Structures are given as structure tokens and as C-alpha cells.
Amino acid sequence: KQEVTQIPAALSVPEGENLVLNCSFTDSAIYNLQWFRQDPGKGLTSLLLIQSSQREQTSGRLNASLDKSSGRSTLYIAASQPGDSATYLCAVFSNDYKLSFGAGTTVTVRA
Amino acid sequence: SAVISQKPSRDICQRGTSLTIQCQVDSQVTMMFWYRQQPGQSLTLIATANQGSEATYESGFVIDKFPISRPNLTFSTLTVSNMSPEDSSIYLCSVMTGPKNEKLFFGSGTQLSVL
């Protein structure tokens, strides 16, 4: 069974600092990995999708890397802003067509 | 991409009553799912909504408690029946789309509080 872990569970940084969020998974037989943002009491917004054959994806200030062999993905957010405050979740879509979510990292960016 | 409209966005309900949540997608999708997110927890899959047939429920979830309808490829409902305070959660519908059904999109969620 795929286990997805996100560390740290919570993170507080001053505005302008770069954010590094980690996601690890136990089974490297994955189809893709997706990063989401969730605001309190709301649904999930897709940020980046990385296919298993890719090493990284970039969108604006966001960059996500994938090392399938070591079971790790990292989401980098450059020059953080208070509007980046949210919970960030990673989801792993395994080759057996199962989707597994991490518990999320709650980010607070202090003005 | 897919745009998903989910209603209601929030509700406060009395114990023993039922609530039906609607999910409307702006395009036809094969795979539609219902998730629950309990306070402070990650997402748990309730069921896969199958068009024209009964939903496929995950372990721990049953049709009598969470009946699901999927009359066509753009619409689904989830009913939370005979509610108790333990059902207080965010309920989310989602779809997988893309050339290989590889990308997941979510509705805005329904925040349910049961008194």
C-alpha cells in the first residue's frame, strides 16, 4: 500500500523567504505526482503535475522536482508572499490506479 | 482542464437529517470521485461515482450512509444520510481528466457541520 508523508506538517516564514516543502512516498511504481493548494474550508487547487518520466515542472514562482527512485518530491516556492499562506498537499497516482494523499504542510507567510 | 461547481459550499445540519451535495462539471468526464476530509486530516476516498451503474465504495463506506447518483457524465450527487456530529467534514468531488485521465481537479468543497 502506498504511504505518502509530508514534512514538515507546518511551516512559518517571513515574507520573501523561499519555501521548501517535502513529499515522500514508499512505492516508486507511480504514474504521476500532483501538488495542490488548499485554503481553509475550501477545495483543492492544482498547482503542478509531474509525470513519472519527468524530473521537474515549473510554473511561475513554483518549481516541483521528482526523484522517483528515492520516492521523493519537493515543491519550491520562491520569494514567498502572505498570499501563499495555505495548506499544500501532494498526491501520488500509483500504477495500480490508486491515488494517495499526504496529510499536507500548512504554510504561514508572515508580512 | 475541468471546472467543477459544487453546492452547497457549506451547511449546518441537525443530527438525524440528510444532506445532498451536488457536483456539476463543465465537460464530460469518465472518472468522478467523492472524498471526505475530516478536521485536520488529509483526504479519504469515499467512492467512485460510475455513470449508469452503482458507485464503487471504499472500505468503511456504505451505500446506505452515502448514496451516490451519477445520471450522466457531467453530474453527480452525494447524500450524507442520518447525520451525526462525526460526519462533520469537508466533502469534495473530483474528476480525473486529460489525454490519459492523468490530472485531478476538485470542486470547491462542502463544509458540513452537524449539531
Of B10, B42, B102, nearest to A89 by CB-CB distance is: B42
Confidence of residue B101 (pLDDT cuts 50, 70, 90): low
Cα separation, A38 vs A90, whole angstroms:
11
Q: Which of B88, B102, B103, B108 is nearest to B22 (CA)?
A: B108
- Per-residue pLDDT tens digits for B36-89: 999 888 899 999 998 888 899 999 999 999 999 999 999 999 999 999 999 999
Cα separation, B42 vs B38, whole angstroms:
7
Cα separation, A50 vs A58, whole angstroms:
10
- Per-residue pLDDT, B96: 87
- Per-residue pLDDT tens digits for B21-32: 999 999 998 889
* Mutant choice from B37, B43, B44, B111 vs A, greatest count of A C-beta within 10 A: B43
% of chain A at pLDDT higher than 70: 100
Q: Is the pLDDT of residue A5 over 80?
A: yes
- Per-residue pLDDT, B1: 78
Residues across chain A: 111
Number of cross-chain residue pairs from A and B with Cβ atoms under 8 Å apart: 44
Q: Which of B39, B21, B23, B29 is nearest to B2 (CA)?
A: B29
Task: Look up residue B5 and give its amino acid.
Answer: S
- Per-residue pLDDT tens digits for A10-69: 999 999 999 999 999 999 999 999 999 999 888 899 999 999 999 999 999 999 999 999
